[in-house]
Amino acid sequence: MARVKRRTGTLDPDGPGAGGLETDGLEGALVDEPRGDLPGLGVPDDNEVIEAIIHASRAMVGIAIRSLTESGEVVTLPQYRTLVVLSDGGARRLADLADALGVSPSTATRMCDRLVRKGLISRTRDELDRREVNLEVTAAGRTTVMDVINRRRSDVCALLTSIPLGTRRELVDSLRLLSEATGDSPELHWMPGWHE
């Protein structure tokens, strides 16, 4: 659990810290203590933030899975992620795709084999190095990606009806902050819309 520093003791009313303008008049020592709500500021502790993120992510995963199961082409979440990466970045070598997905080349190979059989990606030999194979999303694969994005946008739009207008700026800022904290950056194929 994260901790904060707090100074023990009291403020000397006649000392240099009188009026609370300086800290020199504070007596006592700095101590570590668990971070909780900061009195008067309404700042939630780490556990409350963690629980809120977990609950929100559960809702978003539900939307993601629903959008996949309702699409015409049956793909798993990892397969869909592969289609998204290829849609955004264009043709890639297998090693580059595996790196982008954060999986081993053998895992990427098995996933791509399935997507090739479904007609959602294609394999072509690299023109400069015939030993290398480039993977590229097909027209059917792009259609699958767009269908899923549109379903997600529709589901998220339905959620907005229960979110007060006055809180939307704070919501957008918070979600962007969370996305940046994960190292995820918006990709062209998601604009405007859902960021995975």
Whole-number Å distance between alpha carbons of 134 and 111: 14
Q: Which residue has the tokens 């259609």?
A: 143
Average pLDDT on 143-150 reads: 90
> How far apart are the C-alpha atoms of 13 and 106, rounded to whole Å?
70
In the chain, ranges of CATH 1.10.10.10 domains: 39-196
- 122 φ, ψ to 5°? -130, 160
Work out whether strand 30-34 and strand 3-7 pair parallel, antiparallel, or are unpaired: antiparallel
Q: What is the pLDDT of residues 78-129, one digit of tens each?
A: 899 999 999 887 888 898 999 988 899 999 999 999 999 999 999 887 666 6
Q: Facing residues of 4 across strands? A: 33
Residue 19: what pLDDT?
42
Dihedral of the CA atoms 11, 17, 21, 22 (nearest 10)?
-110
The residue ranges of DSSP E strands in the chain, in sequence order, are 3-7, 30-34, 92-93, 121-125, 133-137
Whether pLDDT at 13 is above 80: no
What class, spelled out in words, does domain 39-196 have in CATH? Answer: mainly alpha
Checking if the pLDDT of 70 tops 80, the result is no
Instruction: Specify whether the CB–CB gap between 81 and 165 falls below 8 A.
Output: no
* Mean pLDDT value across residues 4-11: 45
Find, among 36, 47, 63, 18, the residue nearest to 155 by Cα.
Answer: 63
Kindly report, residue by residue over 170-188, the tens digit of the pLDDT.
999 998 888 888 776 554 4
